């Protein structure tokens, strides 16, 4: 019999170490290493339905007629790249209570209504608990099968027998394989269970969704290899106390990784938001300094957001800098540009920058909006509420071009904005709507001059 080996794994990020460590060198968390005994076992292959591994010509490989399955939820289809790819493995992560199970159960209803056989496997809820949630969401149908099981061996037998079109595992941290001695949710269990589910999905052409828990910093719990094994990684973001949620794709082998889907949480479940710009600007103040509307591009969708800044004299020797919803280092860099190029004395001021609505944006096109909001608050001069600004700002104060400027201007026109301040380099071949005045600027000084 093979001799068991003892190793230590980090519960937060999955870092492996031959000895116990107080602080994880990977995620820098304290007291997260746990001991696991690993017994070498003979790996059993699960090549279900796969042909013998021999080289094939690309021209001899035939595609299925229906490569994607429509979920019936347009925002989810957008993030997935047009629908569910047959045989794909999708990992869905998010904070507790954010709505992961709700979204997947609503997806099950749409798929079942389209005569797709769906198997929902839960390791955290009983059948009665799922039924209560299904009644609240008005989910029913004979094509939706429910199973409460955590033993992967039993799940494997049922899947081979029923062969559903779509399978959902809620969640991966509750599943376990009997051959592995460690507890469910451990690094060894998560890695092996995901490997078997991947082989089942590819071999039987079953589209599989896996729900994953997240750590304190919002990343998927477990080993990093988990995200490498799956085809698509989706993060469900948003404040639990707010009504809207954002589904963001961070990895997608079959589509763009920049797309987002916006939902609103209501008593009957998640509702799609077709116009997120209007939602983000709801309740925006007018005639107040430090408030500017900018445009960010998420995939192919332009989205208008409000950038807020508050500049006040500091009461301490070291001024405070705070950024919410955007990169902190980028805000500090842009404040240095204002000090050097425009002579604004910000060294003695506290600065607070916020992207209203709780959304997180790191696109460089937001630079000019941050600059304008900081300058507006510092001088206590409001900017016209019907003015939109966007553009990337360099260290010399120049305003650089951004992509898809025309789509951003059109989006502003739809929401009633009559003035747009954009990079001058984007003015070439730009089709401007009649009701919008567009000004091209080369540097930050020109942009501020238009708002005086």
Residues annotated within the binding site are 94-101
147 three-class SS: strand
In this structure, what are the phi and psi dihedrals at residue 308, rounded to the nearest 5 degrees? -115, 140
- List the strands of the sheet with 33-38, edge to edge: 16-17, 5-10, 33-38
Of 358, 168, 169, 356, residue with least CA distance to 245: 358
Asked if 135 and 161 touch (Cβ cutoff 8 Å), the reply is no
Q: If we measure between CA atoms, which residue out of 182, 165, 161 comes closest to residue 173?
A: 182
Check: CB of residue 240 under 8 Å from CB of residue 264: no
- Rounded-to-integer distance, Cα 326 and Cα 402, Å: 18
- Residue 169 and residue 210: Cα distance in Å, rounded? 5
What distance in Å separates the CA atoms of residue 187 and residue 10, rounded to the nearest whole number?
Answer: 8
Q: Which residues pair with 90 in a beta bridge?
A: 209, 232
Distant-in-sequence, close-in-space partners of 174: CB < 8 Å, separation ≥ 6: 123, 124, 150, 184, 185
Dihedral sign of CA atoms 44, 47, 52, 56 in order: negative
Helix, strand counts (H, E) of the chain = 11, 23
CA-based nearest residue to 162, from 198, 206, 126, 131 = 206
The closest of 423, 421, 413, 405 to 296, measured between CA atoms, is 405
HSE-up of residue 266 (Cα within 13 Å, Cβ side): 9
- CA-atom Rg of the chain in angstroms: 26
Helices 187-204, 152-162: crossing angle, 10 deg rounding: 10
Task: Write out the binding residues for ATP.
Answer: 94-101
């Amino acid at each position: 019999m093979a001799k068991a080996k003892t190793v230590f794994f980090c519960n937060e990020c999955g870092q492996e170490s031959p000895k116990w460590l107080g602080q994880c060198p990977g995620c820098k968390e304290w007291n997260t290493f746990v001991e696991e005994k690993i017994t070498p076992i003979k790996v059993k292959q699960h090549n279900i339905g796969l042909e013998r591994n021999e080289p094939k010509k690309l021209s001899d490989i035939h595609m299925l007629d229906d490569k994607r399955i429509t979920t019936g939820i347009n925002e989810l289809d957008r993030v997935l790249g047009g629908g569910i790819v047959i045989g794909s493995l999708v990992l869905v992560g998010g904070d507790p209570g954010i709505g992961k199970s709700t979204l997947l159960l609503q997806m099950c209803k749409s798929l079942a209504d389209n005569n797709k056989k769906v198997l929902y496997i839960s390791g955290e809820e009983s059948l009665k608990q799922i039924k209560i949630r299904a009644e609240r969401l008005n989910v029913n149908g004979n094509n939706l099968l429910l199973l409460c099981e955590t033993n992967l061996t039993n799940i494997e037998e049922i899947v081979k027998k029923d062969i559903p079109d779509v399978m959902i595992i809620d969640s991966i941290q509750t599943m376990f394989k009997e051959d592995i001695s460690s507890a469910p949710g451990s690094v060894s269990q998560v890695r092996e269970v995901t490997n078997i589910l991947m082989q089942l999905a590819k071999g039987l052409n079953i589209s599989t969704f896996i729900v994953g828990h997240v750590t304190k910093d919002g990343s998927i719990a477990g080993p990093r290899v988990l995200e490498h094994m799956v085809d698509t990684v989706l993060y469900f973001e948003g404040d639990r106390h707010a009504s809207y949620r954002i589904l963001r794709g961070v990895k997608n082998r079959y589509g763009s990784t920049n797309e987002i889907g916006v939902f609103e949480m209501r008593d009957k479940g998640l509702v799609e938001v077709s116009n997120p710009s209007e939602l983000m600007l709801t309740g925006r103040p007018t005639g107040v300094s430090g408030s500017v509307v900018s445009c960010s591009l998420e995939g192919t969708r332009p989205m208008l957001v409000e950038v807020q800044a508050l500049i006040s004299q500091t009461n301490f020797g070291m001024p405070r800098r705070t950024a919410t919803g955007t990169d902190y280092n980028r805000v500090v860099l842009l404040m240095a540009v204002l000090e050097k190029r425009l002579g604004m004395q910000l060294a003695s001021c506290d600065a607070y920058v916020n992207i209203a609505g709780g959304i997180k944006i790191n696109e460089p096109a937001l630079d000019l909006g941050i600059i304008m909001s900081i300058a507006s608050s510092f001088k206590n001069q409001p900017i016209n509420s019907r003015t939109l600004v966007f553009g990337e700002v360099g260290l010399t104060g120049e305003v650089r071009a951004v992509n898809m400027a025309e789509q951003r201007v059109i989006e502003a026109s739809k929401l009633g904005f009559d003035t747009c301040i954009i990079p001058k380099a984007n003015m070439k071949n730009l089709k401007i709507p009649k009701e919008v005045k567009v000004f091209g600027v080369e540097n930050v000084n020109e942009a501020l001059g238009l708002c005086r």
